Amino acid sequence: MNISLQNKHALICGSTQGIGLAVAKELASLGATCILLARNEQKLQAVIGELPIPNQQSHVYEVADFRNSEAVRVAVTRVVERFPVAILINNTGGPPAGAITEADPIAFEEAFRQHVVCNQLLANAVLPAMKSVGYGRVINIISTSVKTPLPNLGVSNTIRAAVASWAKTLANEIGSFGITVNNVLPGSTYTQRLEALMKQSAQASGQSIDEVEKKMKDAIPLKRIGQPDEIANVVAFLASPAASYVNGISIPVDGGKTPSI
């Protein structure tokens, strides 16, 4: 099975922590040259030094805050002027938790720009190079809420579903160029985002964080919370030549918690 990413450039968003960082490390270990995109330059500089270089790759970074779509457009323009991106990993932090009945309409607009609009900007920028070589991978890190809405994540549920629909539409349009578009749907995974959600749940319910965590684990058939590298392994497969006939799908990586088939 060919999972080598040697001589391929991967643009990885939100790559200074959590799942994005784990993805960057895994793709780099398979030979990809990683281009990191995030908002904190100090963290980006630190991560560059952590990435594997089995083929003596020269990893680089660009700075942009996904709350500012124009900054993302400028950053990705600089990227494609220098590198033929073959792999795009769309990944950015989810909207704040909360009931949909309490959500400010502006929160939907902001989340839509941050996720859907920025994804579109990034894809439009990298697709020409992918089409020219007949190889491309667009992989979106979303959420299992694409399959079933999650409690107290009203804005997130709405926007994540929009990203999944965007991705399926894009997959249908560009598959003939040898470019695949797929979604990875992490379930409960040890990240700063999960820690924040558990803390919020604990405060709302009057339970301890340990009690909230135990309840979360009990709801998962594997009875444990996932690690970022377990999500990254699935992303790496989809990014590789081995996944050439996998297109337009959403794959839950959640220990079996999602109730649908």
For the chain, list the domains and their CATH numbers.
Answer: 9-187+227-253 (3.40.50.720), 191-225 (no CATH)
CB contact at 8 A, 31 and 44: no
Structure tokens at 209: 């964080």
CA separation, residue 177 to residues 113, 183, 242 (Å): 27, 19, 17
pLDDT of residue 28: 98
Tell which residue, 148, 142, 155, 70, has the closest CA to residue 104. 155
- Full pLDDT tens readout for the chain, 261 residues: 999 999 999 999 999 999 999 999 999 999 999 999 999 999 999 999 999 999 999 999 999 999 999 999 999 999 999 999 999 999 998 898 999 999 999 999 999 999 999 999 999 999 999 999 999 999 999 999 999 999 999 999 999 999 999 999 999 999 999 999 999 999 999 998 888 888 888 888 889 999 999 999 999 999 999 999 999 999 999 999 999 999 999 999 999 999 988
The answer for residues whose C-beta is within 8 angstroms of residue 222's C-beta and 6 or more apart is 255, 256
Task: Please state, in angstroms and rounded to a whole number, the distance separating the CA atoms of residues 257 and 230.
Answer: 15
pLDDT of residue 89: 98
The answer for residues whose C-beta is within 8 angstroms of residue 256's C-beta and 6 or more apart is 220, 221, 222
Helices (H) and strands (E) in the chain, counts: 9, 7
pLDDT of residue 261: 85
The phi, psi pair for 130, rounded to 5°, reads -60, -45
User: The whole model's pTM is what?
Assistant: 0.96
